[in-house]
C-alpha cells in the first residue's frame, strides 16, 4: 500500500519550473526576474535574450523549461501563455576568508539563489 498522491499545488491552467542553487545573489537575480514578471512569453524571451546581465541566460533556460512543461505535461496553448510568477529565494551562503594586511582578515560571502517561474494561460480566471 502506498501513500496517497499529493494534490497539484497549481491550478490546471498553470505550469512551473524551478532552478535551484544558482550561483548569484538573490538581489541580482531579482532584477532579472523583475524584467519578465507579468509579460507574455514572447516579450519575456526577447527581454532575456538581449539582456546584458550574465544570469539572464539561466533565467531564459528556466523559462523555456516552464513553457515546455506547460505544453507537454499539461497541454496548454503556447500562444496564450504569460509569466504569472517569477519568485526568487535565498539559498546557502558560502563563507570564505580574505586575508588582509597587518594580520587582519575579512569575510567574503558567496550567496546562492533559487528561482521559480510559473506560466499561465491568458483568459483563465486566476
Structural domain harbouring 105: 15-121
Is residue 11 pLDDT above 60, yes or no? yes
Assigned domain for 53 exists: yes
Give the pLDDT of residue 1: 77
CATH number, domain containing residue 51: 3.90.470.10
Assigned domain for 44 exists: yes
Assigned domain for 51 exists: yes
The pLDDT confidence band at residue 125, using thresholds 50, 70 and 90, is low
Cell 535574450 belongs to residue = 49
Mean pLDDT for 30-37 is 98
| 115 strand-pairing partners | 19, 88
Assigned domain for 4 exists: no
Assigned domain for 21 exists: yes
Is residue 50 pLDDT above 60, yes or no? yes
Give the pLDDT of residue 123: 81
Assigned domain for 2 exists: no
- Give the global pTM: 0.91
Assigned domain for 110 exists: yes
Q: Look over the chain and give the mean of its residue pLDDT values, rounded to a whole number.
A: 95
**Total tally of structural domains belonging to the chain:** 1
**In the chain, where does DSSP find H-type helix?**
26-36, 41-49, 56-72
Count of Cβ atoms closer than 10 Å to residue 114 Cβ: 16
- CA nearest to 122, candidates 7, 8, 24, 39: 39
Mean pLDDT for 88-95 is 98
pLDDT in tens, 62-73: 999 999 999 999
Is residue 124 pLDDT above 80, yes or no? no
Contact 121, 81 (CB under 8 A): yes
The pLDDT confidence band at residue 86, using thresholds 50, 70 and 90, is very high
What is the three-class DSSP state of 10? coil
Q: Rounded CA gap, 11 and 25, in Å? A: 30
Assigned domain for 126 exists: no
Report CA-CA distances (Å) from 117 to 2, 4, 70, 75.
Answer: 31, 27, 12, 18
Amino acid at each position: 500500500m502506498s501513500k496517497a498522491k499529493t494534490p497539484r499545488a497549481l491550478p490546471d491552467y498553470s505550469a512551473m519550473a524551478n532552478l535551484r542553487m544558482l550561483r548569484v545573489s538573490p538581489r541580482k537575480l531579482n532584477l532579472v526576474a523583475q524584467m519578465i514578471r507579468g509579460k507574455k512569453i514572447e516579450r519575456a524571451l526577447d527581454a532575456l535574450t538581449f539582456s546584458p546581465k550574465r544570469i539572464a541566460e539561466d533565467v531564459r533556460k528556466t523559462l523555456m523549461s516552464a513553457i515546455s512543461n506547460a505544453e507537454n505535461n499539461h497541454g496548454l496553448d503556447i500562444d496564450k501563455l504569460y509569466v504569472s510568477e517569477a519568485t526568487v529565494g535565498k539559498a546557502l551562503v558560502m563563507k570564505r576568508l580574505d586575508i588582509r594586511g597587518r594580520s587582519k582578515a575579512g569575510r567574503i560571502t558567496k550567496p546562492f539563489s533559487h528561482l521559480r517561474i510559473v506560466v499561465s494561460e491568458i483568459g483563465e480566471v486566476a
